[in-house]
A and B are shown apart, each in its own frame.
Chain A
């Protein structure tokens, strides 16, 4: 039977077991390394309501605070809420952000060699 992904779904190397976490959306148990983790940076007040809140604010020039949250999704919720998308077989293998014309950086980086387009660097 073929393997759909080289790492088998998510990131467990050299371990037999990882503990599970609960999905922040549905509460399903999902292994910690398999869960899709996203860090959300959001304004506490939505864009539409910013003006209303600022008008009602007692302080002048009060910068509205932001909300930093870590969301952990199970695979089902991540796909359902469009956090991740289904990819084609070739596109599944892409892990790094798209390379942008890196001709200049061939000699500039002491720690890495020149990267061919699309091939991910091996992580230490």
Chain B
């Protein structure tokens, strides 16, 4: 976060747009970093190293490229372009496909922040700055995969138990069976197994 802030400040100061003061670019850079620091998907990617050893640097790169997109390219800024840029960056840098709609939300928030900064309204960034770090959603994530694996192995064991029960019951039934069974009410009668039937291996 510090390096992202430093990079953004350096970018804002060194550019010298000429058309607008560089101050809003610096504040916008800080705002971009704040928004990204609250984006769970990106924070999870950085903390779990989805992009390899330099995941944090890649996150800072993303912040810097967003800022330079806002500052460099001419109006109008389209939110679709920003969404595509963030999407591509997540796939290429972090191998992550974000399909939960958070990219759209982050892009919307960044666009609103950019418009506010152009008007000189820094309220939203102040609010973010003062709200402090939120509950870390990354630490709240639980590994559910282990539970599912345990459940499935339990099911397999119970199936095995069910399979064994009738076979043991059948083994017991062999002994009291040599007598001829009485015909059923519908005329069905059980054919008694001959003694050699169980010993023959098919």
Interface, chain A (partner B; CB < 8 A) = 37-43, 47, 66, 68, 95-109, 123
Q: Cβ of B41: which chain A residues have Cβ within 8 Å of it?
A: 41
Question: Is the beta-carbon distance between B85 and A104 smaller than 8 angstroms?
Answer: no
Interface residue stretch chosen among B30-38, B94-102, B114-122, B186-194: B94-102
CB distance from B97 to the nearest CB of A (A): 5
Question: Is the beta-carbon distance between A41 and B72 smaller than 8 angstroms?
Answer: no
Question: Is the beta-carbon distance between B54 and A104 smaller than 8 angstroms?
Answer: no
Among B45, B73, B92, B101, the residue within 8 A (CB) of A97 is B92
Q: Cβ of B7: which chain A residues have Cβ within 8 Å of it?
A: 105, 108-109
Distance of A69 Cα from B82 Cα, bound (Å): 25
Question: Is the beta-carbon distance between B92 and A104 smaller than 8 angstroms?
Answer: no
Over the window 34-66 of chain B, the binary record of Cβ atoms lying under 8 Å from chain A Cβ atoms (1 yes, 0 no) is 000000110011000010101000000000110
In the complex, chain B residues 53-94 whose Cβ is within 8 Å of any chain A Cβ: 54, 64-65, 68-69, 71-73, 85, 88-89, 91-94
Interface size class of B (residues with CB under 8 A): 35 or more
Question: Is the beta-carbon distance between A101 and B72 smaller than 8 angstroms?
Answer: yes
Question: Is the beta-carbon distance between B14 and A108 smaller than 8 angstroms?
Answer: yes
Distance of A106 Cα from B16 Cα, bound (Å): 13
Question: Is the beta-carbon distance between B85 and A41 smaller than 8 angstroms?
Answer: no
Known: A104-B15, A108-B7. A41 touches B98 (CB 8 A): yes
In the complex, chain B residues 165-197 whose Cβ is within 8 Å of any chain A Cβ: none
Question: Is the beta-carbon distance between B69 and A100 smaller than 8 angstroms?
Answer: yes
Distance of A104 Cα from B73 Cα, bound (Å): 12
Question: Is the beta-carbon distance between A105 and B72 smaller than 8 angstroms?
Answer: no
Q: Which B-chain residue is minimally distant from A83 (CB atoms)? A: B97
Q: Which A-chain residue is minimally distant from B94 (CB atoms)? A: A39
Question: Is the beta-carbon distance between A39 and B96 smaller than 8 angstroms?
Answer: yes
Q: Cβ of B94: which chain A residues have Cβ within 8 Å of it?
A: 39
Question: Is the beta-carbon distance between A105 and B11 smaller than 8 angstroms?
Answer: yes
Q: Cβ of B68: which chain A residues have Cβ within 8 Å of it?
A: 100-102, 104-105
Question: Is the beta-carbon distance between B44 and A40 smaller than 8 angstroms?
Answer: no
Among A68, A99, A107, the residue within 8 A (CB) of B141 is A68
Distance of A28 Cα from B40 Cα, bound (Å): 32
Shortest 5 CB-CB contacts between residues of A and residues of B: A108-B10, A39-B96, A101-B72, A104-B11, A97-B92
Question: Is the beta-carbon distance between A41 and B65 smaller than 8 angstroms?
Answer: no
Distance of A42 Cα from B141 Cα, bound (Å): 13
Distance of A102 Cα from B11 Cα, bound (Å): 10
Question: Is the beta-carbon distance between A100 and B50 smaller than 8 angstroms?
Answer: no
What are 20 A-B contacts with C-beta separation under 8 Å?
A38-B95, A39-B45, A39-B50, A39-B97, A40-B99, A41-B98, A41-B102, A43-B99, A43-B101, A68-B141, A95-B92, A97-B92, A100-B85, A101-B69, A101-B73, A107-B10, A107-B14, A108-B11, A108-B64, A109-B7
Question: Is the beta-carbon distance between B73 and A43 smaller than 8 angstroms?
Answer: no
